[in-house]
């Protein structure tokens, strides 16, 4: 099989890169070993929330300038601080072009409500999620927190307790529907995705709107777990219209229904534009010639190689086994890329669990174009994007989704420029 | 081939991420099914401790393997569930299971009196009896049996086929043999056009997929051993690749044999493949398919069967279809049609089966295609029964265009 570009890894980064390549007319395939981390999405995409020294960032576009002074190996710095805002704008355009509606500003972080009830800075949030412009409190003085009876992946009491501390009074109410009775027979399947399917049905939406109207009373906003429809994206709008109220959703524990919908929307847009998405397949080996990768081999395609002009590694970090921690060191298992890591295993961790952990910054070494280094030398047509990149701490710096999308845009541009 | 086996207990690779539960077609419509995570890796932990923890609700799993395709940690969820059924299920297969599972035996009897059988199983009173007494849903339409088998036709072809210098062996499966010999004939036509003669295996038994799902494990294993022996003769002694036209037979021969039945096939597995993959490779290596210039234009929508999704091979069928100048191809979103072999025939599964397929049926009707194309015979039955479209195999479309 022959393509112009082949991306290994079908998560946020791989899909954004693939989407931009197919939209520019490239024949492109994505090989994905199972579903991606978008299934655990918080509903928000972080760009830059804090600097390596711990200082909070309110404006990512300003913060990245200081970041350049603190860590010149950071992917944002390698891609060029001056290109940061443009790359971010492209990433937003790509999401929105695929029908993923997001709100946010590269010049000013807003705040998302975590499933634990705390407020955290972020860049983009999917429409419909509760968000605040302030780090201190929600924009509502009183809310009704509505949960489905028996849904255990949502901790209403935690959220209520935290909100109360910030001056928002919160009333909790559990609701029931006949369709919920049926899935409750099976407590292990009482999960967000299965509940969401109930609301693909208009009758259930109507019933929920009646419950909301009955229970909401004087509260300023109604908050619901993010489980409103898997196929349908208009349930929240419909409820607001029926009830004439402000209704917002709050992230649940995985699986993340809006995350699943985002994954599906991006994949569909990629396929509609002519891309080939191979799910459940794993790249196992490759051939190279004169400093170039010529073909790769996968588990499913066996002796039929997949050839391309350019290859992009978007296999992520430890979770998706894009990086594997072995006794001798951390390796990138497919191409044996150079991996940036501490000298000895003893330096992988800090004793305090809550400080920045060195292993989080480990990743694949690359040159200024994000071409992968092997044996210290850049491979001419092999790029790395997303969580597998070296030099950043997605948790402490709040920059995981940003690095994934900006590096995807950057590399797709580099490929298209050739 | 298993990529990453971090433990001898594969279920230990499960990190409890819940992704599989989103993609289970059964859990989405049937609340009696505990879902892939609970039925698979979570339940396995308990069953290892005490077999009494086995839950008979695992019978609702239709073995589509979509959980495995979705799993980011390479957990063989479907295999874990099927193995648990094999090892622990107390329910004994009855007459219905026997009839549905023995596609070989029933087929060989039915083809002898095909017109009578076809007419009889379509009669209302017969359907009522099958429903009430046997438990086969009365709304189900049975596949028609053919007069005379594909093997019978092939025996008359032997001489003509042997004139080709290059040869392949063909695992035709029960469906081609008893229900649809013209599909096998289409395959032979396409191979002949590429310069290859087709021969049968020394001895072919039903691949056994229906035996496995209906609980006849010993018989499935015996048949698997016969098939693997015949495949070895073809591959190792005669140096012939073994091609098949059914995605489920292919998947069973390659992967279910070692994973579920413990029948070793590692020395020949890679030589067993779908005809579309083999043909795709020939074309890539320069072989030319002589397409007619005046073939009527048709619009087809390709449906990816679950086991094709698991094999990861739908691109071969889709790419071959795209090569045909007279054919316009659209690809349907990959989702289960709901029949899963004999599953949808059972009275207690009928509603589930149709509910699972509903989204697919809607997609098909909205696609504006002339035909649906797919590599699986039971998907064909389900789609033809549940939509207004006729269903063809990629090789039938290819053969028609030659």
| A:B CB pairs within 8 Å | 101
pLDDT (mean) for A371-380: 97
- pLDDT tens string A224-265: 999 999 989 999 999 999 999 999 999 999 999 999 999 999
pLDDT at A146: 97
pLDDT in tens, B260-319: 999 999 999 999 999 999 999 999 999 999 999 898 999 999 999 999 999 999 999 999
- Answer whether A186 sits within 8 Å of B310, measured CB to CB: no
Query: B272-274 and B298-302: which strand pairing?
Result: unpaired
Question: What's the gap in Å between the CA of A134 and the closest CA on chain B?
Answer: 32
Which residue, B152, B150, B159, B155, is CA-closest to B186? B150
Counted domains in chain B:
2
Quick one: average pLDDT of A316-330? 93
CA–CA distance, B377 with A323 (Å, rounded to integer): 41
Query: Is B190 part of a structural domain of the chain?
Result: no
B116–chain A nearest CA distance, Å: 43
Return the residue in A12, A14, A31, A194 with the most chain B beta carbons within 10 A, the one to mutate for interface testing: A194
Q: What digits encode the pLDDT tens for the residues B11-40? A: 889 999 899 999 999 988 888 899 999 999
Band of residue A414 on the pLDDT scale cut at 50, 70, 90: very high
Determine the Cα–Cα distance for residues B331 and B124; give it in Å rounded to an integer: 37
Q: Are A278 and A8 in contact (CB under 8 A)?
A: no
Q: Nearest-CA distance from B209 to chain A in Å?
A: 21
Give the C-alpha separation, B356 to B252, whole Å.
23
B255 touches chain A (CB under 8 A): no
Distance, in Å, from the CA atom of B314 to the CA atom of B67, rounded to the nearest integer, reads 18
- Average pLDDT (A121-138) is 96
Q: Is the model's pLDDT at A187 over the cut of 80?
A: no
On whether residue B318 sits in a domain, the answer given is yes
Can you say whether the dihedral through the CA atoms of A73, A75, A80, A82 is positive or negative?
negative
Nearest to A209 by CA among A163, A247, A172, A159: A247
3-state secondary structure of A315: coil
Query: Among A158-172, B131-145, B186-200, where is mean pLDDT lowest?
Result: B131-145
| Structural domain contains residue B101 | no
Domain interval for residue B394: 298-401
A35 contacts chain B (CB < 8 A): yes
Chain B interface includes A179 (CB < 8 A):
no
Q: What's residue A235's pLDDT?
A: 96
The reply to whether B311 falls in a domain is yes
Phi, psi of B62, rounded to the nearest 5 degrees: -100, 10
Q: Given a cut of 70, is residue A311 above it in pLDDT? A: yes
Cα gap B245→B376, rounded to integer Å: 8
Domains and CATH numbers, chain A: 2-105+260-417 (3.50.50.60), 130-250 (3.40.50)
Would you say residue B248 lies in a domain? Answer: no
What contacts A259, CB < 8 A, 6 or more positions away? A38, A39, A40, A41, A43
CB A189 within 8 A of CB A182: no
Q: Work out the mean pLDDT of chain A and round it to a whole number.
A: 95
Boundary residue ending a domain (B65, B88, B111): B88
Does the structure show a pLDDT above 70 at B1? no
Asked if residue B69 belongs to a domain, the reply is yes
Q: Residues of A85-102 as b/e, b for ≥16 C-beta within 10 angstroms?
A: eebbebbbebbeebebeb
Say if B72 is an interface residue toward chain A (CB within 8 Å). Answer: yes
Does the distance separating the beta carbons of B281 and A319 come in below 8 Å?
Answer: no
| SS3 assignment, position B308 | helix
Instruction: Give dist(CA A101, CA A17) in Å, integer.
Output: 18
Test mutation, B312, B314, B334, chain A, max A CBs within 10 A:
B312
Which 3 state secondary structure label does DSSP give A28? strand
Q: Give B176→chain A minimum CA distance, Å.
A: 25
Which residues are paired to A7 by β-bridges? A30, A312
Q: Which of residues 351-370 of B touch A (CB under 8 A)?
A: 359
List b or e across B206-241, with b for residues whose CB sees 16 or more CB atoms inside 10 angstroms: bbbbbbbbbbbbebbbbbbebbbebbbbbbeeeebb
Chain B residue with Cα closest to A320 = B72
Evaluate if residue B6 carries a pLDDT over 80.
no
Whether B45 is in a domain gets the answer: yes
Q: How many whole angstroms separate alpha carbon A185 and alpha carbon A187?
A: 6
Bridge-partner residues for A363, per DSSP? A340
> Residue A371: helix, strand or coil by DSSP?
strand
Mutation choice for A interface testing from B19, B28, B286, B331 by most A CBs within 10 A:
B19
Report pLDDT for B101: 84
Q: Say whether B312 and A301 touch across the interface (CB within 8 A).
A: yes
Q: What is the spatial distance between Cα B395 and Cα B307, in angstroms, rounded to a whole number?
A: 18
- For the stretch B4-10, contacts whose Cβ atoms lie closer than 8 Å and that sit 24 or more positions apart, written own/partner, are B4/A321, B4/B74, B9/B44, B9/B48, B10/B75, B10/B76, B10/B79, B10/B80
How confident is the model at residue A183, as a pLDDT? 84
* Contact predicate A126/A43, CB 8 Å: yes
- Answer whether B312 sits within 8 Å of A320, measured CB to CB: no
> Does B37 contact A at CB distance below 8 Å?
yes
Check residue B7 and give its pLDDT.
Answer: 60
Spatial distance between the Cα atoms of A198 and A250, rounded to a whole number of angstroms: 18
Express each pLDDT in A85-115 by its tens digit.
Answer: 999 999 999 999 999 999 999 999 999 999 9
For tokens 């016969």, name the residue: B226
Domain for residue B212, yes or no? Answer: no
Residue A272 has pLDDT above 70, yes or no: yes
- When pLDDT is averaged across residues A402-416 and rounded to a whole number, the result is 98
Domain boundary among B88, B103, B123: B88
pLDDT of B396 reads 97
Query: pLDDT at residue B257 above 90?
Result: yes
3-state helix, strand, coil in chain B (%, to 5): 55, 10, 35
Contact B72 A271 (CB under 8 A): no
Q: Which of A183, A252, A265, A188 is nearest to B28 (CA)?
A: A183
Nearest CA in chain A to B316: A1
Q: Is the pLDDT of residue B3 over 60?
A: no
Which of B22, B31, B37, B269 to mutate against chain A (most A CBs within 10 Å)?
A: B22
User: In whole angstroms, what is the distance from residue B285 CA to residue B279 CA?
Assistant: 10
Q: Is the pLDDT of residue B85 over 90?
A: yes
For B354, the token pair is 């149709």
Provide DSSP, B159-225: HHHHT-SEEEEEE-HHIIIII-HHHHHHHHHHHHHTTEEEEE-SS-----HHHHHTT-HHHHHHHHH
Closest CA to A198 of A158, A243, A241, A228: A228
Cβ neighbours of A279 in B, within 8 Å: 69-70, 309, 312, 334
Confidence of residue B141 (pLDDT cuts 50, 70, 90): confident
- Give yes or no for residue B126 having a pLDDT over 90: no
Pairing mode, if any, of strands A330-331 and A324-325?
A: antiparallel
ipTM, 2 dp = 0.91
Residues 276-315 of B with CB under 8 A from A: 277, 280-281, 284, 309-313, 315
Residue A373 is encoded by which pair of tokens?
């280094």
Which CATH number covers residue B61?
1.10.1060.10
pLDDT score recorded for residue B5: 56
Are A39 and B23 within 8 A, CB to CB?
no
Structure confidence by residue, pLDDT tens digits, A200-216? 999 999 999 999 999 99
CB pair distance less than 8 Å for A186 and B23: no
Residue B348: Cβ within 10 Å count:
14
Closest-CA residue of A relative to B308 is: A300
Q: How confident is the model at residue B104 (pLDDT cuts 50, 70, 90)?
A: confident
* Residues ≥6 apart with Cβ < 8 Å to A321: A33, A315, A333, B4
Task: Please judge whether B312 and A280 are an interchain contact, meaning their C-beta atoms are less than 8 angstroms apart.
Answer: yes
CB nearest B27 (choices: A194, A298, A300): A194
Q: For residues B250 and B273, is the Cβ–Cβ distance under 8 A?
A: yes
> Considering B56, B88, B120, which residue would you say is the last residue of a domain?
B88
Q: Give B73's contacts in chain A (Cβ within 8 Å).
A: 34
Q: Any chain B CB within 8 A of the CB of A280? A: yes
The mean predicted confidence, pLDDT, of chain B is 92
Mean pLDDT across B121-127: 81
């Amino acid at each position: 099989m022959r393509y112009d570009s082949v991306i290994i890894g079908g998560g946020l980064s791989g899909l954004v890169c693939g989407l931009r390549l197919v939209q520019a007319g490239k024949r492109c395939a994505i090989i994905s070993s199972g579903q991606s981390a978008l299934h655990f999405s918080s509903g928000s995409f972080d760009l830059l929330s804090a600097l390596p020294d711990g200082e909070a960032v309110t404006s990512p576009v300003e913060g990245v300038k200081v970041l350049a002074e603190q860590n010149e190996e950071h992917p944002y710095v390698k891609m060029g601080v001056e290109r940061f805002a443009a790359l971010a704008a492209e990433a937003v355009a790509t999401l929105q072009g695929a029908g993923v509606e997001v709100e946010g500003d590269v010049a000013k972080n807003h705040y998302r409500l975590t499933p634990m009830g705390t407020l955290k800075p972020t860049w983009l949030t999917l429409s419909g999620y509760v968000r605040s412009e302030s780090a201190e409190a929600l924009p509502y003085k009183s809310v009704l927190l509505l949960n489905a009876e028996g849904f255990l992946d949502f901790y209403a009491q935690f959220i209520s307790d935290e909100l109360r501390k910030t001056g928002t009074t919160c009333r909790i109410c559990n609701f029931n529907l006949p369709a919920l009775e049926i899935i409750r027979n099976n407590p292990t399947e009482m999960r967000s995705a299965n509940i969401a399917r109930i609301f693909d049905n208009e009758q259930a939406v109507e019933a929920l709107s009646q419950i909301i109207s009955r229970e909401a009373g004087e509260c300023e906003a109604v908050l619901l777990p993010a489980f409103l429809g898997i196929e349908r994206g208009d349930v929240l709008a419909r409820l607001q219209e029926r009830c004439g109220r402000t209704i917002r959703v709050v992230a649940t524990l995985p699986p993340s229904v809006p995350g699943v919908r985002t994954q599906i929307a991006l994949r569909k847009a990629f396929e509609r534009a002519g891309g080939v998405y191979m799910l459940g397949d794993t790249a196992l080996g490759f051939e190279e010639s004169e400093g170039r990768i010529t073909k790769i081999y996968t588990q499913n395609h066996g002796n039929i190689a997949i050839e391309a002009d350019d290859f992009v590694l978007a296999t992520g970090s430890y979770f998706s086994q894009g990086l594997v921690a072995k006794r001798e060191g951390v390796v990138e298992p497919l191409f044996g890329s150079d991996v940036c890591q501490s000298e000895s295993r003893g330096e992988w961790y800090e004793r305090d669990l809550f400080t920045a952990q060195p292993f989080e910054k480990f990743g694949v070494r690359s040159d200024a174009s994000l071409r992968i280094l092997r044996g210290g030398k850049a491979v001419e047509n092999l790029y790395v994007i997303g969580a597998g990149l070296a030099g950043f701490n997605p948790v402490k710096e709040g920059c995981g989704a940003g690095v994934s999308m900006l590096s995807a845009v950057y590399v797709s541009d580099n490929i298209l420029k050739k | 081939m298993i990529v990453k086996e971090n433990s001898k207990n594969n279920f230990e690779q499960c990190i409890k991420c819940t992704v599989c539960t989103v993609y289970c077609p059964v859990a989405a419509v049937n609340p009696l099914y505990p879902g892939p995570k609970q039925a698979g890796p979570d339940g396995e932990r308990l069953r290892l401790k005490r077999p009494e923890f086995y839950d008979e609700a695992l019978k609702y799993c239709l073995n589509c393997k979509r959980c495995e395709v979705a799993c980011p940690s390479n957990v063989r969820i479907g295999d874990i569930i099927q193995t648990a059924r094999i090892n622990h299920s107390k329910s004994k297969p009855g007459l219905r299971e026997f009839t549905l599972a023995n596609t070989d035996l029933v087929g060989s009897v039915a083809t002898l009196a095909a017109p009578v059988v076809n007419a009889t199983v379509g009669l209302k009173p017969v359907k009522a009896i099958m429903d009430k007494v046997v438990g086969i849903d009365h709304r189900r339409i049975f596949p028609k049996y053919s007069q005379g088998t594909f093997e019978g036709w092939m025996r008359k072809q032997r001489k003509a086929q042997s004139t080709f210098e290059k040869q392949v062996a063909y695992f035709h499966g029960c469906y081609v043999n008893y229900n649809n010999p013209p599909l096998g004939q289409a395959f032979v036509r396409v191979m002949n056009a590429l310069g290859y003669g087709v021969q049968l295996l020394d001895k072919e038994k039903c691949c056994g997929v229906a035996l496995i799902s209906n609980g006849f494990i010993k018989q499935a294993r015996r048949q698997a051993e016969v098939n693997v022996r015949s495949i070895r003769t073809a591959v190792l002694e005669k140096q012939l690749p073994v091609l098949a036209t059914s995605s489920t037979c292919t998947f069973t021969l390659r992967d279910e044999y070692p994973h579920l039945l413990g029948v070793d096939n590692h020395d020949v597995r890679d030589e067993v493949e779908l005809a579309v993959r083999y043909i795709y490779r020939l074309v890539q290596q320069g072989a030319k398919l002589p397409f007619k210039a005046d073939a009527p234009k048709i619009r087809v929508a390709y449906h990816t069967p679950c086991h094709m999704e698991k094999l990861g091979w739908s691109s071969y069928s889709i790419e071959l279809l795209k090569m045909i100048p007279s054919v316009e191809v659209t690809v349907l979103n990959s989702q289960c049609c709901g029949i899963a072999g004999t599953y949808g025939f059972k009275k207690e599964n009928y509603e589930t089966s149709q509910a699972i397929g509903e989204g697919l049926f809607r997609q098909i009707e909205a696609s504006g295609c002339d035909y649906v194309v797919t590599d699986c015979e039971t998907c064909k039955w389900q789609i033809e029964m549940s939509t207004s479209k006729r269903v063809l195999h990629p090789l039938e479309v290819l053969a028609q265009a030659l």
